[in-house]
A and B are shown apart, each in its own frame.
Chain A
Amino acid sequence: MNKKPRSLIRIIIPVVLTLVTIALIVWPMLAGGQYVVLDPKGPVGASQRDLIVISTILCAVVIVPVLILSAVIVWRYRDKPDNKSAYEPNWSHSTKAEAIWWTVPIIIIGLLAVVTIRYTYDLEPSKPLASEKAPVTIQVSSLDWKWLFMYPEQGIATVNTLNIPADRPVKFELTADSPMNSFWIPQLGGQIYTMSGMAMTLYLQADHEGQYWGSGANFTGEHFAQMRFDVNATSEEDFDKWVTEVKQQSQPLTQETYKTLAEPGTSNVAYYSSFPEGLFQDIVTKYVIDGQSAHSKHGEASGAKEITTQDVDKSAN
């Protein structure tokens, strides 16, 4: 008699707490759609969201039945004196059963592998996006604890803020003049590392005008938490207008100001009317000796562009 309420409490406590947790997870989703990864604003992010959904469903196909099965088994075969379900202490092998649960995961993982491989080639970060418009190039360099964006076609530079034209592919060229960081704008698409001595390529696109945000995702030391930046996706005209404004109203970024900027420390948002020619290449090739690439001894990576001093000479001309 005494036992019933106690076991009820035992069930109620976890159930209530689980519900509270689920409620807390669902609530912000209903409140404002802040699940940025699941609310993409560009084609790359959208494909990645689809892939996340597909992989979740494929996994759920196996794990939901298994979760239910485990609950049923534990309940049904619990050791109670009045439990009348079968008891077979020596039943320990069944070729048929084991064949099933070797095969089912193999099939599911096989499906997932096929999907993954297809998407891996489709979403290779350095692969240009299909678009009628030519991409805008933006050179990104992660510094200790700030982001430097250079717009070679426009001749301007910004720190900790990024403007891009909406509905047009953006070709990010990325490097680092600091420990390795990771460039991430969740609503536009997945991240890629910024690394010293390497120039990585990442294509992203914003389909809609709006303000998104980006951040550094790979730990780089003391003020790493400050490495957040706004991404303003505007119309082509607004973008051009903004470029003109920056050109007129800001100071140029010189070698000296860059040196100060590259020192460890945080920084406010800043705009520069110009930047030294070839600065990005200089950062990438900072460690190159005697015309050799810093990575010449390692295999050619498809995502990374190897830059040698010869290339730099060419680009300087």
Chain B
Amino acid sequence: MLERLKEFASEFFVTGDPLIYGADVAIGITMITIVAVLTYFKKWGWLWRNWLTTVDHKKIGIMYIIASIIMLFRGGVDALMMRLQLAMPNMDFLHPEHYNQVFTTHGTIMILFMAMPFMFGLFNVIVPLQIGARDVAFPFLNALSFWLFFLGAMLFNLSFVIGGSPDAGWLSYPPLSELSHSPGVGQNFYIWGIQISGIGSLATGINFLVTIIKMRAPGMKWMKMPMFTWSVFSTCIIILFAFPILTVTLALLFLDRFAGAHFFTLDLGGNPMMYINLIWMWGHPEVYIVVLPAFGVFSEIVSTFSKKKLFGYKSMVFAMLIISFLSFFTWAHHFFTMGSGADVNAFFAVTTMLIAIPTGVKIFNWLFTMFRGRIRMDTPMLWTLAFIPCFIVGGMTGVMLSVAPADFQFHNSYFLIAHFHQVLIGGVVFGYFAGLYYWWPKMFGFQLPEKLGKWAFWTWNIGFYVCFMPQYAVGLMGMTRRLSTYGWDTGWWELNFVSTIGAFLMGVGFLFQVAQIADGIRKYKTLKASGDPWGGRTLEWSIPSPAPEYNFAITPRGDDIDEWWEEKERRAKGIYPPEQPLEPIHMPKNSAIPFIMSICWFVAGFGFVFGWLWMAILGLAGVGICMIARSFSYDTDYYIPVDEIKRTEASLRGSV
């Protein structure tokens, strides 16, 4: 019996690597500390009532962002381990199998569990405030989306201490990801982690689409919507069409692995290329999913910090919608070398290049928003300014990659790696950082200290160029991606060494940001923010910071793109809006079901990962019970009385 238990444990837990033992200990200590702190300060009730069961979009947004930053840390540590391994030829830091796991989880985590939740976090915190709404269209579904994402991400992350990580690359091409080549549970973790969180992502996309269509303030016509809201809208359209493809693709891969189907294996008539086409039909639009909201963030910031109206609003909207349409006609550029022939390659080369046109237009519009403005260099604006050259260069190398016959030389080389990191870090990460700094006061009611923020900014940026510029060069020297090691004879080591230094500089930049946030929390009383700390232009700046749970005491109007700016101008001239009586506000009640239902999904996923059908059935039964329970719960809303609104407003506005 003991022997069997031992044998089970040695397969169940990942063993044999000192790095992972270290991680085991660290995870254990963190868990114990969290439990101890919560118990000592008697915070379990607070945690449950205020966070785990909340349906408040602002709190959900904050949880998304916290989770995303933790994942940024994990994905970042993965990146540093890879760079350390590649710093010198014949490095013996990670053995090949471990290296393969590290780059697989790095890619998956950064795109799906870092970029996506950061983006959803910003959606949640800002969109309802910007369109003058009190909540999202489906608050309960919103909470469910978050918990599905979170538990999916946790399931995926578990793989590194239990069972073993996936190691077939972040898109897991078959047959490498099939049972024949990956017999372990790693790929199952990949499938179920993404699948569970992907359901959440699809639901969020639908939720925000409906929110933007149905819940805008009176007067806010389509062409009066703030730019960030437009970017969210175009993103949600892409989500709506792209994520179902991912769900189906992963489900088919799961059937291959679990039920012996042959969708993607050549024996018995399947085809691995089918998977590659399908996964990129989701995967390339996914890139635009994460970058479009960043464009929205930049549009808001450029205009606010240049104290000027956004230039070419209509062009911007048009460009965004074109990008979301074209994003579905680019997937094949990921395999120009597949031999699909000149017709297909020429078509996808041109459709890929076309995206550069609307993107270029946006850059010009941002530049001309600054033109004849007054540019202030606070941290949100710094990140925006850093984005512009970074994205221009990254965009240019992207166009170079889209030239199909030239891509035969670039494909799978470090040139490609440098390109996509430049657009994803320069565009997406810089954008979300800018957004986080910009809206931080609105989320938490205090401003972050700027000095550490500037240190973070410079180390990140210098680190970025030192890390990725050499990778373009090393790509032209013939270095291919996903190599776990290379020899002295290649002549690649100097540039790799420099690149590693750059990566660690970015790590230092991250630490500065953590220090900045810690410093801000320590001094939050002295850093208290007004409702409108930056001289904002859109509706979210018209209410106190942090926003009260009902957002707007009185439903605002949205007659202008820069409604709040115009309102301030009117007030300066002494024109005030007519007083409106307060009315009780209708709000959704908290619910434990999203949290419990997601845990049931987690249990089901875990069961599927290990092929324990009893556990999977138990989990799915739990999911079913939660759905039934929800359909019978009628007491889901309440009204905030006028007195309470008055008290809240007085205390929030009084302290400003």
Chain A residues at the B interface, C-beta cutoff of 8 Å: 10, 13-14, 17-18, 20-22, 24-25, 27-28, 32, 34-38, 45, 47-48, 51-52, 55-56, 59-60, 62-63, 66-67, 69-70, 73-74, 77-79, 83, 85-94, 97-98, 101-102, 104-106, 109, 112-113, 115-117, 119-126, 179-180, 182, 184, 186, 189-193, 195-198, 200-201, 213, 215-225, 286-287, 289, 294-295, 298, 301-304
Q: Does B627 contact A (CB under 8 A)?
A: no
Known: A24-B495, A34-B491, A90-B309. Is A125-B392 also a contact (CB below 8 A)?
no
B214 → chain A closest CB, angstroms: 28
| Cβ-defined contact, A59 with B478, below 8 A | no
| Cβ-defined contact, A89 with B339, below 8 A | no
Known: A14-B462, A77-B370, A113-B350. Is A120-B312 also a contact (CB below 8 A)?
no
| Cβ-defined contact, B361 with A105, below 8 A | yes
Known: A79-B376, A221-B100, A287-B266. Is A51-B406 also a contact (CB below 8 A)?
yes
**Chain B residues within 8 Å of A62, by CB:** 360
Describe B's contact surface by its main secondary structure.
helix
B17 → chain A closest CB, angstroms: 15
- Among the listed A17, A32, A63, A191, which residue makes an inter-chain contact with B412, where contact means beta carbons less than 8 Å apart? A191
CA A197 to CA B268, docked complex, whole Å: 12
> Mind listing 28 A-B residue pairs with CB under 8 Å?
A24-B470, A25-B473, A25-B495, A37-B413, A37-B477, A60-B396, A67-B392, A87-B307, A87-B373, A93-B312, A101-B365, A104-B360, A105-B360, A113-B353, A116-B353, A119-B404, A120-B345, A179-B272, A180-B173, A186-B478, A191-B412, A217-B480, A219-B176, A220-B176, A224-B482, A225-B483, A302-B341, A303-B338
Known: A116-B350, A298-B271. Is A55-B339 also a contact (CB below 8 A)?
no
Residue among B267, B272, B337, B371 with max Cβ neighbours from chain A (10 Å): B337
Contact with A along B210-241 (1 / 0, CB 8 A): 00000000000000000000000000000000
| Cβ-defined contact, B404 with A120, below 8 A | yes
| Cβ-defined contact, B400 with A193, below 8 A | no
Known: A21-B469, A219-B482, A225-B483. Is A63-B396 also a contact (CB below 8 A)?
yes
| Cβ-defined contact, B271 with A295, below 8 A | yes
Contact with A along B361-390 (1 / 0, CB 8 A): 101110111111111110000000100110
| Cβ-defined contact, B478 with A74, below 8 A | no
| Cβ-defined contact, A193 with B374, below 8 A | no
| Cβ-defined contact, A302 with B343, below 8 A | yes
CA A122 to CA B408, docked complex, whole Å: 13
B134 → chain A closest CB, angstroms: 30
Contact with A along B175-208 (1 / 0, CB 8 A): 1100001000000000000000000000000000
B71 → chain A closest CB, angstroms: 23
CA A104 to CA B478, docked complex, whole Å: 34
Q: Does B585 contact A (CB under 8 A)?
A: no
**Given A25-B472, A119-B406, A123-B405, 11 other A-B residues pairs in contact with their CB atoms under 8 A:** A35-B476, A70-B392, A190-B337, A190-B408, A192-B339, A193-B335, A217-B481, A221-B167, A224-B96, A225-B486, A295-B271
B367 → chain A closest CB, angstroms: 6
Known: A179-B175, A222-B96. Is A92-B403 also a contact (CB below 8 A)?
no
Known: A218-B412, A225-B484. Is A303-B403 also a contact (CB below 8 A)?
no
Known: A63-B396, A116-B353, A295-B271. Is A125-B339 also a contact (CB below 8 A)?
yes
Known: A105-B356, A120-B349, A193-B335. Is A55-B412 also a contact (CB below 8 A)?
no
| Cβ-defined contact, B267 with A287, below 8 A | yes
CA A218 to CA B458, docked complex, whole Å: 35
Residue among A105, A126, A192 with max Cβ neighbours from chain B (10 Å): A105
A97 → chain B closest CB, angstroms: 7
Q: Does B494 contact A (CB under 8 A)?
A: yes
- Among the listed B169, B307, B338, B364, which residue makes an inter-chain contact with A89, where contact means beta carbons less than 8 Å apart? B307
**Chain B residues within 8 Å of A295, by CB:** 271
CA A215 to CA B266, docked complex, whole Å: 25
Q: Does B269 contact A (CB under 8 A)?
A: yes
| Cβ-defined contact, B409 with A186, below 8 A | yes
Interface residues on B, range: 35 or more
B299 → chain A closest CB, angstroms: 12
Known: A56-B400, A101-B360, A179-B181. Is A88-B372 also a contact (CB below 8 A)?
yes
**Chain A residues within 8 Å of B315, by CB:** 98, 102
| Cβ-defined contact, B311 with A67, below 8 A | no
Contact with A along B393-411 (1 / 0, CB 8 A): 1011001101111111111
| Cβ-defined contact, A89 with B363, below 8 A | no
| Cβ-defined contact, A192 with B405, below 8 A | no
- Among the listed B312, B338, B478, which residue makes an inter-chain contact with A98, where contact means beta carbons less than 8 Å apart? B312
Residue among A10, A63, A126, A304 with max Cβ neighbours from chain B (10 Å): A63
CA A59 to CA B403, docked complex, whole Å: 12
